Amino acid sequence: MREGSIAVVGDKDSVLAFKAIGLDVFPVEGEMQARETVHTLARTYSVIFVTEKVALQAETYIKRYKSRAYPVILPIPSAEGSMHLGLDGINANVEKAIGANVFVDGKED
Amino acid sequence: MAKLNVNPTRMELRRLKTRLKTATRGHKLLKDKSDEMIRRFMLYIRENKRLREEVEGELSGALKNFMLARAVSSDSVIEEAIAMPSTKVTLDVSSQNVMSVDVPVFEITKQEGSALYPYSFATVTGELDDAVASLSALLPKLLKLAEVEKTCNMLADEIERNRRRVNALEYVMIPQLEETIKYITMKLDENERGTITRLMKVKSMLENKQ
């Protein structure tokens, strides 16, 4: 069983705040570092919060863990604001499962 | 639809009939499973959407507060203030079975430190307090979101996989089996008729001889 720790990966401005509440933070810069960090953390951490920018950069690695229970990799908005990556993911899931988007225009039916 | 490549014998016919029965039953079961999975998925995805919207709003607010705090004090002060966090959040991780999909479940086991704020109030401004307090309050929701979003991801995958199975049974397996069964039945009937005519012919030949 993997240990129940939480990691936060992202640009320094966004992740520093999480350090104050007791999460393990890993500030990254650039695409290579983002990928490598996510890749190594995925082996030990059970929950990894990544900023949306990092989520895009490390997409190939994150996809690999999509169908497994652990680790849970969750994109969160950064300090610069949200890119709506999370909501896009939700819509993609709905389309995959139902075959059509039932939340048209972001509203529930 | 192509029939299977088998010998038209009674034994084969019986075997295929059993297979058809199993396939039909499996198809019905999988279809029911798919319906139930979609029902569950809808529940989860609604919650997912609601949580996601809430978290994005609140998190942006908290992070903005933090940015503000960083703007007010110097970098070194902030970094020193939060360099040694007083709390350490760990999780009890386990998994739960939702429609034969193992989804993660967390339980927060917060190691209670002496205080939420790991710094002295004299050195930093109130903005940092606000940011830390709101972020700390947001953490359970964030983890719940992680849990629900992962569940949705996995359920969506499983629903898609299941749909493939149902379609393969419905449009390939079952028609193929039905076709082959029909072919064997016809062939056997034809053989039977062939035998009867041959017997009749032999009988009439024998009668003519006498």
Residues B47-75 have pLDDT tens digits of 888 888 888 888 888 888 778 777 777 77
Q: How far apart are CA B103 and CA B97, in angstroms?
A: 6
Tell me which fold the domain B13-201 belongs to.
Answer: Helix Hairpins (1.10.287)
Task: Provide the domain limits for residue A84.
Answer: 6-101
Q: In which band, very low, low, confident or very high, does the pLDDT at A109 lie, cut at 50, 70 and 90?
A: very low
Whether residue B139 lies within 8 A of chain A, CB to CB, comes out as yes
Chain A residues near residue B63 by CB distance under 8 angstroms: 14, 17, 77-79
Residues on chain A touching B92 (C-beta within 8 angstroms)? 4
Taking contacts as CB-CB distances below 8 angstroms, the residues of chain A near B144 are none
Q: What is the pLDDT of residue B5?
A: 83
- Residue B17: both structure tokens together: 């009939």
Mean of per-residue pLDDT scores for chain B? 84
- Give the whole-angstrom CA distance, residue B178 versus residue B167: 16
A107 located within any domain: no
- Total number of domains constituting chain A: 1
Q: How far is CA B111 from the centre of its chain?
A: 34
pLDDT category of residue A102 using cuts at 50, 70 and 90: low
Residue A13 lies in a domain: yes
Residue B127's SS3 state is helix
Residue A108 pLDDT grade (very low, low, confident, very high; cuts 50, 70, 90): very low
A85–B contact, CB cutoff 8 A: no
Q: What is the pTM of this model?
A: 0.80
Which residues, numbered 104 to 133 in chain B, qualify as contacts with chain A under a Cβ-Cβ cut-off of 8 Å? 104, 106, 109-111, 113, 116, 118, 128, 131-132
Using a CB–CB cutoff of 8 Å, tell me whether B162 touches chain A.
no
Give mean pLDDT, residues B118-123: 67
Q: Does B73 touch chain A (CB under 8 A)?
A: no
How many angstroms separate the CA atoms of B32 and B82, rounded? 53
| Average of per-residue pLDDT across B28-40 | 91
Domain boundaries, chain B: 13-201
Q: How many residues belong to chain B?
A: 210
Cβ distance B142 to A76 less than 8 Å, yes or no, reads: yes
In-domain check, residue A37: yes
Tell me the backbone φ, ψ of residue A49, rounded to 5 degrees. Answer: -90, 130
Q: What end-to-end distance do the CA atoms of chain A give, in Å?
A: 40
Residue B144: band (very low, low, confident or very high) from pLDDT cuts 50, 70, 90:
confident
ipTM of this predicted complex?
A: 0.81
CATH number, domain with residue A52: 3.40.50.10580
β-strand pairing of B101-111 with B88-98: antiparallel
Q: Which of B93, B142, B152 sits opposite A2 (nearest CB)?
A: B93
Yes or no: say if B55 and B138 are a contact pair by the CB < 8 Å rule. Answer: yes
Contacts of A13 in chain B (CB under 8 A): 67, 70
Return the top range by mean pLDDT from A84-93, B23-32, B96-105: B23-32
